[in-house]
């Protein structure tokens, strides 16, 4: 349908495009600045000379970060938490969502209400903290894997998706003699790839970025995830610790860009998987937005 646009509409459209381009600049620029600074000379950063392109290009900051053992241990830990944690999340969420999506499950509304209630009310930080201590999870890797293993919201999203799978498909598999686990693995999950992709993204990003539970539950530095080390470097400004044995001027020359380099190494993996899963998650949020 071709409709002639009036003068007013043309003006509006142009302003809109300009405004939105400005917005995208605002979203991107901080990250661009970090990237550019990580390659720049710290004196130039401190003097405010760096804005669009690196000044005094060098890779010293990256070299130092990668030589630091803390960073490597923490990187390994984070990978462990992301992989094992996400697996636990996916298994538990699926095991909850699938039975609850079947209409023949008795009492499913009650169980649903019991799960949804936790989205709106909780015992609070202190009882949760004491609970973890009481269960003997304090200062173990489990303290980051088990609490929060199921998100009620994600469970609802998944259940809604499962409900859209035709009952007749499941019925016919049953007649062929398949039991519930087989149906779930062979029929339901292969049909649910988009929602599984979204869940994987949500949970994995959550584990990758999480730090608060690590801060309150972990004492042993060998278990620390990357984010806690980042916190020491970025927030508590202990970048200098990486520079033992270097002169004062060297310390200054590099500590600024170390911050930016650590931001980059901590963010790049997430940003790398993001484009692959992006098309799925909009769908995921949409499913979540629909009410039953």
Partner 1 sequence: MLLPTVLYFLIFEYKPMYGAIIAFKNFNPYLGITDSPWVGFKNFEKFFESYYFLRLLRNTFLMSFYSLIFIFPASLAFALLLNELRLKKLKSFLQTVSYLPHFISLIVICGMIIDFTKPGGIINSLLLGIGLISEPIQFLILPEWFRTIYVGSGMWQSLGWNSIIYLAALSGINPSLYEAAVVDGAGRWKQLMNITLPGILPTVLILLILNVGTLLNVGWDKIILLYNPGTYVTADVISTFVYRRGVMEANYSFSAAVGLFNSVINFTLLVLANRISRKTTESSLW
- Contact set for partner 1, span 75-134 (CB under 8 A): 91-93, 95-96, 98-100, 105, 111, 114-115, 118, 120-131, 134
Token representation of residue 213: 């539970």
Q: Residue length, the chain?
A: 292
The mark string for 270-289 relative to partner 1 (x by CB under 8 A, - otherwise) is xx--xx--x---x--xx--x
Which of the ranges 26-34, 68-76, 165-173, 185-193 carries the binding residues for partner 1, by CB under 8 A? Answer: 26-34
CA 121 to chain centre: 23
Q: Which residues contact 163 (CB under 8 A, 6 or more apart)?
A: 101, 292
How far apart are CB 251 and partner 1 at their closest, in Å?
17
Count of residues binding partner 1 (CB under 8 A)?
87
CA 103 to chain centre: 32
Give, rounded to a whole angstrom, the gap between the first and last alpha carbons of the chain.
35
Half-sphere exposure of 30 (CA within 13 A, CB side): 4
Q: What phi and psi, each to the nearest 5 degrees, are found at residue 224?
A: -60, 135
Binding status of residue 187 toward partner 1 by CB under 8 A: no
Q: Distance between CA 25 and CA 20 in Å, rounded?
A: 9
- Do 199 and 89 touch, CB atoms closer than 8 A? yes
Query: Using CB under 8 A, which of 10, 11, 23, 193 touches partner 1?
Result: 23
Q: Which is nearer to partner 1, 107 or 190 (CB)?
A: 107
Query: Using CB under 8 A, which of 18, 46, 83, 169 touches partner 1?
Result: 46
Q: Which residues contact 158 (CB under 8 A, 6 or more apart)?
A: 93, 94, 97, 192, 195, 199
Q: Which is nearer to partner 1, 38 or 243 (CB)?
A: 38
Q: What is the dihedral of CA 115, 121, 123, 129, to 10 degrees?
A: 70
Degrees, nearest 5: CA angle 62-73-79? 95
How far apart are CB 209 and partner 1 at their closest, in Å?
4
Rule CB under 8 A: which of 193-252 touch partner 1? 205, 208-209, 211-212, 216, 227, 230-231, 233-235
Q: What secondary structure does DSSP assign to 169-199, as a single string?
A: HHHHHHHTT--HHHHIIIIIHHHTHHHHHHH
How far apart are CB 245 and partner 1 at their closest, in Å?
25
Binding status of residue 58 toward partner 1 by CB under 8 A: no
Which of the ranges 15-23, 170-178, 192-200, 243-251 carries the binding residues for partner 1, by CB under 8 A? Answer: 15-23
Query: Using CB under 8 A, which of 56, 148, 240, 246 touches partner 1?
Result: 148
Binding status of residue 139 toward partner 1 by CB under 8 A: no
How far apart are CB 62 and partner 1 at their closest, in Å?
16
How far apart are CB 69 and partner 1 at their closest, in Å?
20
Which of the ranges 56-64, 145-153, 188-196, 246-254 carries the binding residues for partner 1, by CB under 8 A? Answer: 145-153
């Amino acid at each position: 349908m071709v409709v002639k646009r009036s003068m007013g509409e043309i003006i509006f459209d142009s302003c809109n495009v300009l405004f939105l381009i400005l917005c995208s600049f605002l979203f991107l620029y901080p990250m661009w600045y970090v990237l550019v600074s990580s390659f720049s000379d710290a004196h130039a950063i401190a003097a405010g000379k760096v804005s669009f392109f690196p000044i005094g290009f060098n890779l010293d900051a990256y070299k130092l970060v990668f030589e630091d053992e803390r960073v490597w241990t923490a990187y390994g830990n984070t990978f462990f938490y992301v992989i094992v944690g996400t697996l636990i999340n996916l298994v538990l969420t699926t095991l909850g969502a699938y039975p609850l999506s079947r209409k023949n499950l008795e009492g499913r509304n009650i169980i649903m209400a019991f799960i949804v209630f936790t989205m709106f009310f909780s015992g609070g930080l202190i009882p949760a903290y004491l609970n973890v201590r009481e269960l003997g999870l304090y200062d173990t890797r489990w303290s980051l894997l088990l609490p929060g293993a199921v998100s009620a919201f994600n469970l609802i999203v998944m259940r809604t998706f499962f409900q859209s799978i035709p009952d007749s498909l499941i019925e016919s598999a049953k007649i062929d003699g398949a039991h519930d686990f087989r149906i779930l693995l062979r029929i339901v999950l292969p049909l649910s790839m988009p929602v599984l992709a979204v869940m994987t993204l949500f949970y994995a990003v959550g584990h990758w970025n999480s730090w608060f539970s690590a801060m309150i539950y972990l004492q042993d530095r060998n278990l620390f995830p990357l984010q806690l080390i980042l916190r020491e470097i970025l927030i508590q400004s202990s970048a200098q610790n990486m520079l033992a044995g270097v002169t004062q001027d060297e310390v200054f020359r590099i500590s600024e860009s170390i911050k930016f380099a650590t931001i980059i190494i901590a963010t790049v993996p997430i940003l790398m998987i993001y484009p692959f899963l992006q098309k799925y998650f909009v769908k995921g949020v949409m499913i979540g937005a629909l009410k039953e």
